[in-house]
Amino acid sequence: MNIDHTILTVIIFVPLAGAVLLALLPDKGKMMQWGALAVTLITLVLTLHLPIRFDYTNAGTLQGAGGNFQFVQDNAWINSPAIRYHLGVDGLSMWLVVLTGFLAPLGVLVSWNTISDRKKLFYTLFLLQQVAMLGIFVSLDLFLYYAFWELSLVPMALLIATFGRTANRRRAAIKYFLYTFIPSAILLVGMLWLYTRTGTFQLPELAQLAAAHNISGNSTALWLASLAFLVAFAVKVPAFPLHGWLSDAIAEAPTAAVMVLAGKLGLYSILRFSFSIFPEQSHRIAPLMIALGAIGIVYGALIALVQKDLKQLAAYGTLGHVSVVILGIFTFTIAGVDGGIYATLNEGIGGGAFFMLLGVLYERYGTYDMRDYGGLAARLPWMVTLFVITTLSVIGLPMLNGFVGEFLVLTGGMQSAITHHTRWTILATTGVIFTASYMLWMIQRVFYGDLNDNTADVPAPDLDAREHLALWPMVTVMLLMGVASPIWMRAIDTAGTYLAREPEQVQPAAATLRLPTPVVDSQASFDAQDYQLPGVDLKADRTAALNLIPAAADGTKKESKIKNISTVWSRPTLKPDSKNRAEAKK
Please report how many Cα atoms fall inside a 13 Å half-sphere around the Cα of residue 96, on the Cβ side: 33
As a whole number of angstroms, the distance between CA 359 and CA 348 comes to: 16
Single out the residue of 580, 578, 546 nearest to residue 561, CA to CA. Answer: 546
Q: What is the pLDDT of residue 486?
A: 93
Residue 531 has pLDDT above 50, yes or no: no
Q: Is 494 exposed, middle or buried (0-12, 13-18, 19+ CB in 10 A)?
A: buried
Single out the residue of 121, 158, 139 nearest to residue 19, CA to CA. Answer: 121
Strand partners, 75: 85
> pLDDT exceeding 90 applies to what percent of the chain?
65
As a whole number of angstroms, the distance between CA 537 and CA 367 comes to: 92
> pLDDT exceeding 70 applies to what percent of the chain?
83
Single out the residue of 1, 2, 12 nearest to residue 42, CA to CA. Answer: 12
Residue 276 has pLDDT above 90, yes or no: yes
Summarised one tens digit per residue, pLDDT across range 307-344 is 999 999 999 999 999 999 999 999 999 999 999 999 99
Summarised one tens digit per residue, pLDDT across range 27-80 is 888 999 999 999 999 999 999 999 999 998 876 544 433 458 999 999 999 988
Buried-exposed string 24-57: b where 16+ CB fall within 10 A, e elsewhere = eeeeeeeebbebbbebbebbbebbebbbeebeee
Summarised one tens digit per residue, pLDDT across range 557-571 is 334 333 333 333 333
Summarised one tens digit per residue, pLDDT across range 435-453 is 999 999 999 999 998 888 7
